[in-house]
Amino acid sequence: MGRGAHVVVIGNEKGGSGKTTVAMHLVVALLRMGFRVGCIDLDHRQQSLGRYVSNREQWVGRSGISLPMPQMGVVRPSAAEFKSQAIAEERAMFDAVLAGLAEVCEFIVVDCPGADVPLARHAHTHADTLVTPINDSLLDLDLLGRLDPVTWKLKSAGVYANLVWELRQERRKTHRSGIDWVVTRSRLSSIADRNKQKLAEVLPAMQKVLGFRLADGFGERVIYRYLWLWGLTVLDLNQPGIEMELTKSHQAARVEVAALLESLWLPKVAERLGRI
């Protein structure tokens, strides 16, 4: 595949971490910066990102208000009888869809399911940037690293960190380049507690050992989930024709999205941040 498009994979083996929210806001932010953007939803069952884009298309059709739209690539589940054949077919289909989008897009955002499945692993090997949202939870943290319950020191890498390490080696063999891995603390609450404090202390030390960069994610805001039904994002709310009052919380959400974009170090994005 040609490397004309920068591939961003949103991955985490645990569900409920806000992957689709990050994916859609990243897609819309890049669109509003003037980039050509494609996206792929690999969660065959829920199809949250695919439905988000579909909701957006339907809202545009009903309202008559034009919104920037991504190109949606579809990787359908294989109907092959044997598992090995199904895996091979789905990987080939993903490669073909990715290559097609890369010919016309500058960025491709891939939303992975919250589980360890072969197709998600394969997608990771194509990632120029890997974004892993985690909640302020020790269960989420355990995927990255196993901690000593007394000293809170890192004992070993978690299952997902080990997986990323393996796939980084595979990517270097196939693409001759690495993966920029960014972990974001998503759904942050404004309430200070011991759990949140410990995560703030432990994560910076873990990133040096496990090889990821740490960035703030999105807060626990109702607006992120509320807009899903219409396929909208907080970046759409100030567009003429969209009758929704911009509250302080909405403005804070826009700042969070811009801050995440800045933290990802995506090519040519820093010079266009002012457009969102």
Domain presence at residue 110: yes
Query: Could you tell me the residue range of the domain that residue 162 belongs to?
Result: 6-266
Domain presence at residue 275: no
Domain presence at residue 242: yes
The residue among 93, 90, 91, 101 whose CA lies nearest residue 6 is: 101
DSSP 69: -
What's the mean pLDDT when you consider all of the chain?
Answer: 90
Domain presence at residue 168: yes
Can you list the alpha helix ranges (DSSP code H) found in the chain?
19-32, 48-63, 83-102, 118-124, 138-144, 159-175, 194-210, 222-226, 248-264
CATH number of residue 124's parent domain: 3.40.50.300
pLDDT band at 3 (very low <50, low <70, confident <90, very high): low
Q: Is the pLDDT of residue 143 over 70?
A: yes
Q: What is the pLDDT of residue 193?
A: 63
pTM higher than 0.85: yes
Q: What is the pLDDT of residue 192?
A: 54
pLDDT band at 195 (very low <50, low <70, confident <90, very high): low
- Using the CB atoms, write b or e for 38-66: b if 16+ within 10 Å: bbbbbbeeebbbbebbebbeebbeeeeee
Beta strands at 129-134 and 154-157: parallel, antiparallel or unpaired? unpaired
Residues 13, 159 contacting (CB under 8 angstroms): yes
* pLDDT tens digits, 54-67: 999 999 999 999 99
Q: Is the pLDDT of residue 198 over 80?
A: no
Q: Is the pLDDT of residue 191 over 60?
A: no
Number of domain units in the chain: 1
Q: What is the pLDDT of residue 2?
A: 43
Distance (Å, whole) CA 268 – CA 23: 19
Domain presence at residue 273: no
Show the tokens assigned to 67: 């919104």
Which residues, in sequence order, are CB contacts of 39 under 8 Å at separation 6+?
Answer: 23, 27, 49, 53, 70, 71, 72, 73, 108, 109, 110, 111
Domain presence at residue 37: yes
Domain presence at residue 272: no
Q: Is the pLDDT of residue 1 over 70?
A: no
